[in-house]
Amino acid sequence: MSGILATFGAVTLPLAALNWHSFFFVLFAAVACACAIAVVLADNVVRMALYLVLSLGATAGLFFLAGAEFVGAMQLMIYVGGTLVLLVFGVMLTAQAPFVSIKTTTGDRVLAGVVGAALLAVLLQSAFSVPAWRQPAAGTVAAPAATPVGMALLGVRVDEPAAGSPQGAVRSGYLLPFEIVSVHLLVVLVGAAYLARAKKRKTPRAIEVAASVEPPASVAEHAAVGRGAGRATSVLSGGRS
């Protein structure tokens, strides 16, 4: 896929010193924003979910671009996978009509537009006010491996020595928050399982129906009565051989 995109880029944007890195950044950012808007504007639930997955995928692309492969893969796994499960179990199983569409009245659109614009303005202003972000970073950023992140989660911060502490002593990592988060998730899971359970019937319905057919008098018992004549003939044949 990246190859196809690349050829597309080469043809239409013959900028002088085109830097692929920035091209892809612009592309992924554009896809993310466009799909985000599309999510808001779409009225068919499944299309909304599709655009959501595309925009989250584009942000995952941004992470990969920034060299943070671990976070990129995590984003793909959690957000895109999560939306997938949300879409399937949340949307499809509860959708009444085959194509559930949610119409928004124009009044709501205007209101939402105003609130959105206000929030955007605040974000932009604060983003541009940070001096460090204004000029591009020097050189390509080093691609940190996943291991420091892993070690940090286990309590050993290897990527930066503690300020002022003697060489070699390392700050304690994120073990505590990591444990808190996992316990929290466990509680949430147990709660969800408890809420979703439905009291199941004691005995499955099929076996009940079969059991409710009360057995007649044992077949053997009244077989003795009928077994008079030799080969099967009509019961009315009166002993005729």
Tell which positions 60-119 bind another protein, by CB under 8 A: 69-70, 72-74, 76-77, 80-81, 84-85, 87-88, 92-93, 98-99
What radius of gyration do the chain's Cα atoms show?
34
Q: Quick one: which segment of 32-40, 46-54, 104-112, 177-185 binds another protein (CB under 8 A)?
A: 46-54
Per CB under 8 A, the list member of 32, 53, 56, 58 interacting with another protein is 53
Give the x/- contact pattern for another protein in 131-150, rule: CB under 8 A.
-----------xxxxxxx--
Residue from 20, 42, 35 nearest 80 by CA:
35
> Any long-range contacts for 26-33 (C-beta under 8 Å, 24+ apart)?
28/58, 28/59, 28/61, 28/62, 28/65, 29/58, 29/62, 31/55, 31/58, 31/61, 32/58, 32/59, 32/62
CB of 124 to another protein, least distance (A): 30
Torsion on CA atoms 172, 180, 62, 117, rounded to nearest 10: -120
Three-state SS for 170?
coil
Nearer to another protein, 6 or 33 (CB): 6
Nearer to another protein, 36 or 71 (CB): 71
CB of 59 to another protein, least distance (A): 14
Per CB under 8 A, the list member of 44, 104, 165, 172 interacting with another protein is 44
Tokens 């992924």 correspond to 28
Any contact of residue 20 with another protein (CB under 8 A)? Answer: yes
Three-state SS for 115?
helix
Query: Residue count at the site for another protein (CB under 8 A)?
Result: 84
Residue from 57, 21, 54 nearest 39 by CA:
54
Nearer to another protein, 7 or 125 (CB): 7
Write out the H or E segment, with its range, that includes residue 104: none
Per CB under 8 A, the list member of 27, 36, 50, 66 interacting with another protein is 50
Cβ proximity of 101 and 44 under 8 Å: yes
CB of 5 to another protein, least distance (A): 8
Nearer to another protein, 121 or 188 (CB): 188
In the window 156-215, what residues touch another protein (CB under 8 A)? Answer: 156, 158-159, 161, 168, 170, 198-199, 201-210, 212-213, 215
Work out the number of other CB atoms within 10 angstroms of the CB of residue 141: 10
CB of 134 to another protein, least distance (A): 25
